[in-house]
A and B are shown apart, each in its own frame.
Chain A
Amino acid sequence: MKGQVKILRFNPQTDAESRFQSFEFEFAPPMTVLDVLNLVRERFAPDLTYAGCCRNGHCGLCGAVVNGREALTCRQAAEPEMEIKPLAGVRVLKDLLIDREQYEARRPALRLFLERQRAPAFEPEKIDMEAFELFKKASRCIECMCCMSACPVVKKKPHIFAGPMPLTLLARHFFDPRDGMERALMAKDEGVGECIECGLCSSVCPRNADPAGLIRLMKKAAAGECG
């Protein structure tokens, strides 16, 4: 069966604006969206640029908007008719390749490491198991940015609201019972209160990190402690 894929292309060295380019391919499941991209690159467009390393949902590099929905291209079944665009709300370097440095620049302020005064007296130390569950959930994030592309508030308030990905990364430390930093204050500074709780981020998250749920809990804490 013939398939048809429309890919939004952009080359900063030659293009003033992005444009869709269509390719035909042999639709033969099992087949992922990444297979289709590889096929197009191999057969028709050697310069088609997109990221990805692990092929199986671990590296978080291959996110794109496929038929209007954010997904990891390596973990999304191909369809006979597809429209593929780069993730939204972030600068495009080339074709589907996005500029991650924008978010890297925010990273140092989040202090994404364990901050504590004292080492435990006994190891392995005793951990509050309830908090540990939330720590685990937040730690599933692979930084794929699918949630960032889906979130309506990120688009409206790019400076005031850090967005679901940085907040999920922060949540790992927020819920780490060992951590001694004022994470609630940090969450507030990152604009956690701006979240409208639409749940779109959780609905596209490929790793069940549930950013919306984590953000809701942090929002409460931030309001209580600092509001």
Chain B
Amino acid sequence: MKRYQCDVLVAGGGGAGLMAAYGAALNNASVMVAIKGRAQRSGATVMAPGAISAVDDRWKKEGDSRELHFEDTMEGGRFVNDRDMVKVLCERSPELVLELERMGALFQREDDGASYSLRIDGGHSFPRCPFLEDRTGKEMLKAMAGALRKLHVPLCEEVMVTRILKRGGRVTGAVGVSAVTGEAVIFDCSTVIIAAGGAGMIYENSDNPTDLTGDSYGLALGAGAPLRDMEFVQFYPVGFLQPPSMKGIFAGLLYYSRLYNAAGERFMERYDPERLELSTRDRVSMAIAEEVRQGRGTPGGGVYMDMTYQEPGFIAKMTPALHSTYMNMGLDPEKDRIEVAPTVHHFMGGMVVDASWSSNVPGLFGAGEACGGMHGANRLSQNALAEIIVSGMTAGESAARYSANLPPSFADPAEAESEEHKVRALLSSEAGETPGEVREKLRKTMGENGGVFRSKESLEKALAHIAELKATPLRIRQKDTAMNRELIEALETENMLKTAEAVARSALAREESRGAHFREDFPEADDGRFMKNFYVAEGKDGLEVYSKSAGMKGASA
């Protein structure tokens, strides 16, 4: 058993986690970061090609303003966002973009070498997003990891945080399991920031990396912090269906392709005859799902994306990165049609925090995709990369402030003992299903019943499946404690099931369609009944759902 001491523990090492550690370190907390994977090599941030939304007088386009960024974000979120969080996002993001440059990043400039090149994307009124090449997320992480190493912030890599410990209602530490040794790790700390990202792995198709298994949500619920907005799961219309290792990965750009169903029809003609494939993402996703449901899908359960009509060499020239992806998996976009289906991209929901990123549990904070509220019912592109710097920095500052006057906190070593006991029990269990088998079932039922289309019936089916899976004992085939991936997968499975249940329960409660949440049995938005947010908390008999009003409709900063 390993034991570490600090004031603030950050659980998760994506952009939000590293920025939170930076914020805490600058504010003189002793901080460390526990990462299930490795820094710069785990989580979604490292994969994000896009840009960081940020409006500032020093680079904004004429007519743009932070008020407009605020309004765009509220509009995208269908007005159920937390207004205070959105305000902080718009206010703080620009300064933190510059802070990233001070930490070592550089963003693309125009020929003069000084003014930022800016991107625009769906939902933003103006180009307002600095970026670098097609690897903005990576650039951010390089700067953050460098700055943390400069400040000697310990990165505790390949440790999965499994539980947050409390005494007298306050955080007193956390326990985890080392993915390398299989041993328990104990953190003595008065303060924890959850920044363990989203949960793409609960769905059959997702572009998320394999470590995003809803640990943020499982940890929060376990610590007594409720979640909100879990029904809002964002889909991107075209992810690969083949090969299995790339299932759900972003498969291409709709403006260079046509979509056909298995009957050879260019089906978008029926759903949006004017814009066809360039319709909104939500509509294209729904159209694809509808084709599959009507029996016109491909064998893999999707549709065909066709680029063969383009001039030879065009795809290679316009999308070099994607082109090499195709070729590297054995597909030639000039000859082969590609099987695609909607894929889970982002979780708008998450732990409930206020605009200082504090939860209701003293000593517990959150940052990044772990938290809900910022994006409401749907997220604008490029707002997530802004969110991770703003929420990270703010949570880091708040955590440092909270922990400053507290004496060192000690966790009960018996808690680590119980974690090791759990590991031993998992390793010795002979009956049941492997984590891989359970996941596959979960991901399938969430894809079919809790995906693009939802209804009372489908969601109840999903919940029944989840209950069955929860009752299924897990069996691990490999018995080593060290370097045992199946063991970590077993620990993750618990979080996946909890997250899936939170999504399904919230989706069942929202009897309307709003943003990314579409109920076939309630296809319209119902402002009268649902200008509110659904919350999920861990009760005596499992997860409980309740709601609160979302404040006023309309947008003004």
Physical interaction between A and B: yes
B209: A residues at CB distance < 8 A: 53-55, 58-59
Question: Which residue from B98, B210, B329 sits with its C-beta under 8 Å from A124?
Answer: B98
Cβ of A113 and Cβ of B98 under 8 Å apart? no
Expressed in whole angstroms, the Cα–Cα distance for A128 and B111 within the complex equals 10
B343 to chain A, nearest CB (A): 12
User: Interface readout for A28-61 with B: 1 if CB under 8 Å, 0 if not?
Assistant: 0111101100100010001101001111111111
Cβ of B109 and Cβ of A132 under 8 Å apart? yes
B69 located at the interface, meaning its Cβ lies under 8 Å from any Cβ of chain A in the complex: no
User: Interface readout for B237-274 with A: 1 if CB under 8 Å, 0 if not?
Assistant: 00000111110010000000000000000000000000
Cβ of A143 and Cβ of B40 under 8 Å apart? yes
A86 to chain B, nearest CB (A): 13
A108 located at the interface, meaning its Cβ lies under 8 Å from any Cβ of chain B in the complex: yes
Cβ of B149 and Cβ of A32 under 8 Å apart? no
Cβ of B139 and Cβ of A139 under 8 Å apart? yes
A53: B residues at CB distance < 8 A: 37, 41-42, 209-211
A21 to chain B, nearest CB (A): 15
Expressed in whole angstroms, the Cα–Cα distance for A57 and B327 within the complex equals 13
Cβ of B113 and Cβ of A126 under 8 Å apart? yes
B146 located at the interface, meaning its Cβ lies under 8 Å from any Cβ of chain A in the complex: yes
B98: A residues at CB distance < 8 A: 123-124
B116: A residues at CB distance < 8 A: 124
Expressed in whole angstroms, the Cα–Cα distance for A42 and B245 within the complex equals 12
The A contact surface, by secondary structure, is loop
B477 located at the interface, meaning its Cβ lies under 8 Å from any Cβ of chain A in the complex: yes
B114: A residues at CB distance < 8 A: 122, 124-127
Expressed in whole angstroms, the Cα–Cα distance for A50 and B398 within the complex equals 39
Question: Which residue from A93, A113, A124, A172 sits with its C-beta under 8 Å from B147?
Answer: A113
A77: B residues at CB distance < 8 A: 327-330
B291 located at the interface, meaning its Cβ lies under 8 Å from any Cβ of chain A in the complex: no
Question: Which residue from B59, B135, B330, B477 sits with its C-beta under 8 Å from A31?
Answer: B330
B58 located at the interface, meaning its Cβ lies under 8 Å from any Cβ of chain A in the complex: yes
Closest-by-CB residue of A relative to B116 is: A124
Expressed in whole angstroms, the Cα–Cα distance for A52 and B480 within the complex equals 20
Expressed in whole angstroms, the Cα–Cα distance for A117 and B103 within the complex equals 13
Expressed in whole angstroms, the Cα–Cα distance for A82 and B40 within the complex equals 30
Closest-by-CB residue of A relative to B44 is: A54
A202 to chain B, nearest CB (A): 15
Expressed in whole angstroms, the Cα–Cα distance for A176 and B436 within the complex equals 45
A residues 100-122 near B (Cβ < 8 Å) are 100, 107-108, 111-114, 119, 122
Which of A53, A107, A125, A140 is most buried by chain B, counting CB atoms within 10 A of its CB?
A: A53
A61: B residues at CB distance < 8 A: 38, 41
A136 located at the interface, meaning its Cβ lies under 8 Å from any Cβ of chain B in the complex: yes
A91 to chain B, nearest CB (A): 14
Cβ of B103 and Cβ of A52 under 8 Å apart? no
User: Interface readout for B379-411 with A: 1 if CB under 8 Å, 0 if not?
Assistant: 000000000000000000000000000000000
Cβ of A113 and Cβ of B41 under 8 Å apart? no
Closest-by-CB residue of B relative to A76 is: B328
Q: On chain A, which size bracket covers the interface?
A: 35 or more
B58: A residues at CB distance < 8 A: 123-124
Expressed in whole angstroms, the Cα–Cα distance for A63 and B112 within the complex equals 39
A135 located at the interface, meaning its Cβ lies under 8 Å from any Cβ of chain B in the complex: yes
Question: Which residue from A54, A74, A76 sits with its C-beta under 8 Å from B46?
Answer: A54
A31: B residues at CB distance < 8 A: 243, 329-330
A34: B residues at CB distance < 8 A: 245
A84 located at the interface, meaning its Cβ lies under 8 Å from any Cβ of chain B in the complex: no
Question: Which residue from A59, A114, A119, A176 sits with its C-beta under 8 Å from B41?
Answer: A59
Expressed in whole angstroms, the Cα–Cα distance for A77 and B46 within the complex equals 23
Closest-by-CB residue of B relative to A41 is: B485
User: Interface readout for A53-89 with B: 1 if CB under 8 Å, 0 if not?
Assistant: 1111111110000000000001111100000000000
Cβ of A35 and Cβ of B41 under 8 Å apart? no
Expressed in whole angstroms, the Cα–Cα distance for A111 and B116 within the complex equals 27
Known: A126-B113, A127-B114. A58 touches B47 (CB 8 A): yes
B124 located at the interface, meaning its Cβ lies under 8 Å from any Cβ of chain A in the complex: no
Known: A75-B325, A129-B111. A55 touches B139 (CB 8 A): no
B193 to chain A, nearest CB (A): 21
Cβ of A124 and Cβ of B115 under 8 Å apart? yes
Cβ of B245 and Cβ of A74 under 8 Å apart? yes
Cβ of A108 and Cβ of B149 under 8 Å apart? yes
B102 located at the interface, meaning its Cβ lies under 8 Å from any Cβ of chain A in the complex: yes
A150 located at the interface, meaning its Cβ lies under 8 Å from any Cβ of chain B in the complex: no
Expressed in whole angstroms, the Cα–Cα distance for A54 and B114 within the complex equals 34
B242 to chain A, nearest CB (A): 5
B138 located at the interface, meaning its Cβ lies under 8 Å from any Cβ of chain A in the complex: yes
A214 to chain B, nearest CB (A): 16
Expressed in whole angstroms, the Cα–Cα distance for A32 and B245 within the complex equals 7
B residues 481-497 near A (Cβ < 8 Å) are 482-486
B104 located at the interface, meaning its Cβ lies under 8 Å from any Cβ of chain A in the complex: yes
Cβ of A13 and Cβ of B480 under 8 Å apart? yes
B46: A residues at CB distance < 8 A: 54, 58-59
B112: A residues at CB distance < 8 A: 126
B142 located at the interface, meaning its Cβ lies under 8 Å from any Cβ of chain A in the complex: yes
B521 located at the interface, meaning its Cβ lies under 8 Å from any Cβ of chain A in the complex: no
B132 located at the interface, meaning its Cβ lies under 8 Å from any Cβ of chain A in the complex: yes
A residues 156-193 near B (Cβ < 8 Å) are 172, 176
Chain A residues within 8 Å of B, Cβ to Cβ: 13, 29-32, 34-35, 38, 42, 46-47, 49, 52-61, 74-78, 93-94, 97, 100, 107-108, 111-114, 119, 122-129, 132, 135-136, 139-140, 142-143, 172, 176
Q: List 12 A-B contacts (CB under 8 A).
A: A52-B210, A55-B209, A56-B249, A100-B38, A112-B146, A113-B104, A114-B146, A124-B98, A124-B115, A127-B109, A128-B113, A139-B138
